[in-house]
A and B are shown apart, each in its own frame.
Chain A
Amino acid sequence: DADVTQTPRNRITKTGKRIMLECSQTKGHDRMYWYRQDPGLGLRLIYYSFDVKDINKGEISDGYSVSRQAQAKFSLSLESAIPNQTALYFCATSGTRSEGGTGELFFGEGSRLTVL
């Protein structure tokens, strides 16, 4: 089984609908992240969480919200989806330096969202 699991893997929805993307991990990492991938733009950080009580905005947080339900679970919500939120979304985790981490990110397989 994958260490970082995202659901759903694919979703088609309509403008104005509320969408939730879920992420769970078995890495035991406190740090979790949501990224968005668009062609030619690389990955851009939406939100990140350093532990259950800590949520931080990334560079493109407008139109998104997150919830850290537990150390292992981090969900991303689009309250009212719009077409320019059509993208591939990735959840990732990382270890802290005290855990021996070097900044490596561990990614889920992605959730492809299409907003019509």
Chain B
Amino acid sequence: GNSVTQMEGPVTLSEEAFLTINCTYTATGYPSLFWYVQYPGEGLQLLLKATKADDKGSNKGFEATYRKETTSFHLEKGSVQVSDSAVYFCALSELGYTGGFKTIFGAGTRLFVKA
């Protein structure tokens, strides 16, 4: 079945450091890939997405490229801020036969950014 594996946390960085959170997936078809972010005390919200191979999703300085050859969707940011401290979830979503999507989440990676 489909699955998502992301690097374990917590990840602790100093402000302005470079961030990479690795995410790999297994899927039988052609899923869409997502990164969601959960700030303290809040629900998950979409950070970025990519719907086909070689697409790059980007938002708020974060980027991730859909790599079909390596089945990866690694999240990167060139210079993190304290306000980026949150839990990040990698997810894939595949269209089912009923027209709805089935989503699988990774375990989440907690990021702490120190001033």
A107 touches B103 (CB 8 A): no
A107 touches B106 (CB 8 A): no
One digit per residue, 1 when the CB lies within 8 angstroms of any chain B CB and 0 when it does not, for chain A 13-37 equals: 0000000000000000001000000
- Report the count of interface residues on B (CB-CB < 8 A): 25
Q: Which of B44, B99, B107 contacts A107 (CB 8 A)?
A: B44
A109 touches B103 (CB 8 A): no
C-alpha gap A84/B42 in the complex (Å): 22
Contacts of A75 in B (CB 8 A): none
Interface residues of B in 80-115 (CB under 8 A from A): 89, 93-95, 98-101, 103, 105-108
Contacts of A94 in B (CB 8 A): 100-101, 103
- Which bucket holds chain A's interface residue count? 20 to 34
A105 touches B99 (CB 8 A): no
Residue B71 at the chain A interface, CB threshold 8 Å? no
Contacts of B42 in A (CB 8 A): 109-110
Q: How many A-B residue pairs have CB under 8 A?
A: 62
Q: If the complex has contacts A31-B100, A42-B108, A97-B99, are A107 and B45 also in contact, measured as CB distance less than 8 A?
A: yes
A103 touches B34 (CB 8 A): yes
C-alpha gap A90/B94 in the complex (Å): 20
Residue B22 at the chain A interface, CB threshold 8 Å? no
Residue A96 at the chain B interface, CB threshold 8 Å? yes
Residue A104 at the chain B interface, CB threshold 8 Å? yes
* Nearest CB on B from A98, distance (A): 6
Contacts of B77 in A (CB 8 A): none
Q: If the complex has contacts A31-B100, A50-B100, are A107 and B34 also in contact, measured as CB distance less than 8 A?
A: no
| 5 A-B residue pairings within 8 Å (CB atoms) | A43-B44, A90-B43, A90-B44, A94-B100, A103-B94
Contact surface of B with A, Cβ cutoff 8 Å: 31-32, 34, 36, 41-46, 49, 51, 89, 93-95, 98-101, 103, 105-108
